[in-house]
Each structure stands twice: as C-alpha cells, then as structure tokens.
A = this chain, B = another copy of it.
C-alpha cells in the first residue's frame, strides 16, 4: 500500500482513503490512486483491516448437522443474504451437543464474527449465547426461541402446526392416533397424566418436538380422544434406523393406532418404512401425516400429506434480522413466526363412520 501511494504520488493516508472508501478524497486523486493500485495488482489486506476496524465481514452459523436437508436449506438462505451484504458465513456443526455448541460459539467469537445465527441445542442453557451478546455480537435463534435470551428468533408455530395436523386426522374420524418424534436422547420428554384432570401433558424443556407433542395432546383433548403415553414415542436424533424401530413398536401395540402423526422428517421416514414392512397399506390400514415437505414425500406411493415449513425463508429471515442488528438497530428481541402449511395429499383417509370419542 505504501507502494501504491508512492506510485500515485500521494500519502498512504490518502491512498487508504481512496481504496477503502472512507474519509474525503478528491475525485482526481481517487482515480489516480485506483489506477496505481490496478497497475500494481494491489489488493488490500483484509486481516489488517479487520484488526484495525474490528469488522471482519463474517458471520457464524451453527446448526446440528448440515447434511440434514432442513439445515442445509436454511444455511443456503443465510449465505444468500450474507452475500448480499458483502459478508461470508463460517459454518459449524453442533451435532445437537451442548458442549460442542459452546466450543463452536467460542471459536466464532474468537474469529470475531459480527453476528451468529444459531439453531440452539438447548433453550435454557444459553450462557454462551448471552456472553456473545455481551461482547457485542448479536445472536439470532433459528428453529427454536428462548425466553432465557433477549434475542430475535425465527420459528414456526410448532404447537399449532401439530394441532392442525392432528385435528385433520381427528376430523377424518380417527381417534386412536399415534405420534413419533425425534428428540435429544439426553432430555427425552416425559408424557405424564396431570393431577386432577388426568389429562396428559408433556414435560421437558421447550423444543420444537415438545411443542409438537403439546399440539398433539391439545388436539386430542379437543376431541375427547383417549390418548395414552404409549401412543407418543420418541427416538434419538439423526438415526433413521432407530426411528423405524420405534415406529414399528408403535404399530405393534395391542391396540395399534389407526393413524400416526410423524413430527419431523426422519420420523416421517420411519413411520413410512415401518408401515411398509408390516405390509400396512397407506392410507387403507394406516393414515399418516408427516413433517417437512421434502421432495421424496411426493415421490412415494401414496404421496404424503405433510406439514410444510419454509426452511429457506427461515434462513433468509434469520440473516436479515441479524444484519439489522449488525447495522446497529437496537430493540428488544423479536419472535418471528413464519407460517406453516398442511399440504393435503393422499396418505390419510377417513376412518369409521364418524366414530365418537371413547
């Protein structure tokens, strides 16, 4: 850069201003400097610039697993928005493990990212995220929101989405409806009877899967459909094989469900596979509603009725919120709820003749 200044016959300060687009520079000199820079094939040292100015033009993304289509698509949205702002994204996988997430956030802070989009493992244990905010790095939560953290979050209404899906099955006449969800093995939710009413409730830290269970239970209650803890099963994350086993156990019940709500895309796969292996016709022998509008749900026979969420938009929106903060906007954390849609296809059919409650 000193070379450029010399070549252009100006001071390094002026050269810096001309190339960095800051301060005031005369138009004639600016051109001369830029020409000199071109001639010398000079490009600025971004690291030095970052050190001096504090801005790295990088943001962080931390998700459970990029190879999961939900995260992959959300990340795409984040990257697109980042690029529009002249930023790049640094990627980290947490595998849904809190310690890994903590370390990842620390690394991102060390690299001085200007903001982080995170799909948090825990919604209660958020000290590491708070620390980030304290050092001036804004956080946007994706897929989950936390009352323990004053940050923007971009989510769907999990409870309502599940409620709608299950209500759809109830309206079809189903009363014995199962549910399968994938959750962190460490903190599998309990489904227990509430004292007094005897109605079921789900206990556990707020997470999409828990909220979806709540939506399921609420819908069942609405219709006075008898539910039992047997009917809602959970399985570990990211293990399709285990999901299939758990789905199979559900279908093997003495009184098997006539319909199942699968609360995420791997559960959906598990239920579909288990039904097929048991020779159960869908929707003849078993109705089902799945989660996530992935390509394959319309490739199989029958095409699946699913709850669709908008992962690309969720990623984009999260990034947009983040950049608003990065640009200095300061307001209380906002919870942005993006719409879901129940896409009715052919995997659920009517059951019985308007069968009434128990």
Binding site for B on A (CB under 8 A): 43-48, 50-51, 56, 58, 61, 65-67, 69, 72-73, 75-76, 79-80, 83, 88-93, 106-112, 240, 269, 272-273, 294-296, 299-301, 312
Contact = CB atoms under 8 A, between A and B. Distances in A.
Copies in the complex: 2
Nearest to A109: B43
A67 B69 contact: yes
B51 A75 contact: no
Contacts of A69: 67, 69, 72
B295 A300 contact: no
Contacts of A48: 51
Contacts of A93: 76, 79-80
A240 B296 CA distance: 12
B90 A269 contact: no
A112 B66 contact: no
Given A43-B109, A69-B69, A295-B296, 6 more contacts: A47-B56, A67-B312, A76-B93, A79-B93, A91-B91, A294-B296
Contacts of A269: 295, 299
10 contacts: A66-B75, A66-B79, A69-B69, A76-B93, A79-B91, A88-B90, A88-B108, A88-B111, A296-B296, A299-B299
A272 B295 CA distance: 12
Contacts of A295: 240, 269, 296
B46 A112 contact: yes
A108 B89 CA distance: 11
A111 B46 contact: yes
B47 A75 contact: no
Residue of A51, A66, A69, A312 contacting most chain B CB atoms (<10 Å): A66
A294 B272 CA distance: 16
Contacts of A296: 294-296, 299-300
Contacts of A44: 110
Contacts of A72: 66-67, 69, 72
Contact of A92 (B47, B88, B272, B312): B88
A66 B71 CA distance: 10
Contact of A76 (B61, B67, B90, B108): B67
Closest 7 CB pairs of A and B: A296-B296, A72-B72, A67-B76, A67-B73, A46-B110, A47-B51, A47-B50
Contacts of A43: 106, 109-110
A312 B92 CA distance: 16
A301 B299 CA distance: 9
Contacts of A88: 90-92, 107-108, 111
A112 B301 CA distance: 50
Contacts of A47: 47, 50-51, 56, 111-112
Contacts of A79: 66, 91-93
A296 B296 CA distance: 6
Contacts of A108: 88
A300 B297 CA distance: 9
Contacts of A51: 45, 47-48, 51
Contacts of A65: 76
